[in-house]
Structure 1
Amino acid sequence: MGGALAATLGSLLYPAMLGVQKVGSAPERVIATPATGPLTEADRDFVVEVRAAGLWEYPVGRTALRKGTTKAVKAAGEHLVEGHASLDAACRNVAGQLDITLPNQPSPQQQGFVAKLNADSGKQFDTDMTTTVRAADGLLLSTIASVRTTTRNSLVRSLADQANGTVLDHIAVLEKTGLVDFGQVLVQETTASKLPAQDVTPPPPVAGEPQVVLTPPATSTLSPSPSAG
């Protein structure tokens, strides 16, 4: 991997955050008791994490379709776009039923990922994109597993199931490019976070602004999991 990305990741990507600061101080504290089961702070934070992941990986996927220099990179971009469009629809559905406020923008950290990749070109883009998204998705997969095994809310459980399949698919297609720097991924997954909370927290939506929708491509064959709704 190029030195430029190593420096960028060193300052932007840390395992504590997939771009979302944990909002609650007591993750097991029950904050609501809907008919679908008790909702904890950890459950709420997970729904926000899924939303935030899509808000930056979806545009990165679109950029990969345009700037990727190999068929494998373009294929990875297609999976990111289709997968996050479908997953985000399920996420918005679940959030609406559980009265969870979702962001319309990713965190400043995640916005930094997007800006870096927008500035890249050629093979540098291919390598930076696959490694950055692979590192973030590896961390998200760990969060999914934790929530899936602990949540008592059926809607959150269903969203975790869909997120698990989507993220595993993305990891697989990224690795198939042959461009992922696994050494750098390991560093990012095992380095303690030094970022302030405001850098890894998505800003709240502006009052009255329409909710951002990640639109699936016309040829998409993916759809939200029925169990998530």
Structure 2
Amino acid sequence: MRTLTFFISLFLISFANNSFSQNLIVEEQPVEKDTITYKTGYGLRIGADISKPALAFFDKSYTGLEIVGDYRISKRWYIAGEIGHEKEITFEQFTTSTSKGNYIRLGANYNTYNNWLDMNNEIYVGGRYGFAIFDQTLNSYTPNVTTGSTNVPIYFPTSPITTPITETGLTAHWLEFLIGIKVETFKNLFIGFSGSFKVAVNIQDQTGFKTLYAPGFNEVLSSDTGFGFNYTISYLIPFVNK
């Protein structure tokens, strides 16, 4: 009887020890690493600024069209630029003028946003060099008149001069700094917004009249600076996935 009890006890101890050893083996097995690699498209992204036709719809003194594009050259950097045409009628207290012409802006964007997994969004900062060729027309103006007599003060006639004066081939050069976002809403389709601060390098004036608006630069402030913004929709043509 004692012998049978001994063998039963030995069997239970061996069984428990074997089960415990198997658990240790299972627990000590290394966890396999995730080998999935997420890639994003590198290529040409091209689109348009949809704010300009929207502005033209509500403001009949303005027309404009801008094509935007960028090309990704690394994980963070994009070569970027815009090309467009604008016409703006500016109304001042004693003048009405029209500026129209073509422009181009070239530069680069740097993406500061760390995307998750296969996301392809941007929060970026960038810089541009801008150049425009435009025509300036002084549509009407009211000159100040003086008789040369100290007893008669300078005055403005009630009727403005309405004979247009046009000067063509004026140029503008400027630098701008911008910040913006781009969000991939559907596969390879992006919507974006950006704002920019512009500093004039050289903006030519019409003879006898200061340029108030330059295509691509927008309104020229008295400090020779300006501001801009755009709302874009664009599509990425991926050449390679990295």
Q: TM-score, normalised by structure 1?
A: 0.22
Q: Write 1 or 2 for the structure with the bigger share of strand.
A: 2
User: Which structure is higher in RCO with an 8 Å CA cutoff and minimum separation 6?
Assistant: 1
State which structure, 1 or 2, has the greater radius of gyration over its C-alpha atoms.
2
Q: Write 1 or 2 for the structure with the bigger share of helix.
A: 1
Q: TM-score, normalised by structure 2?
A: 0.21
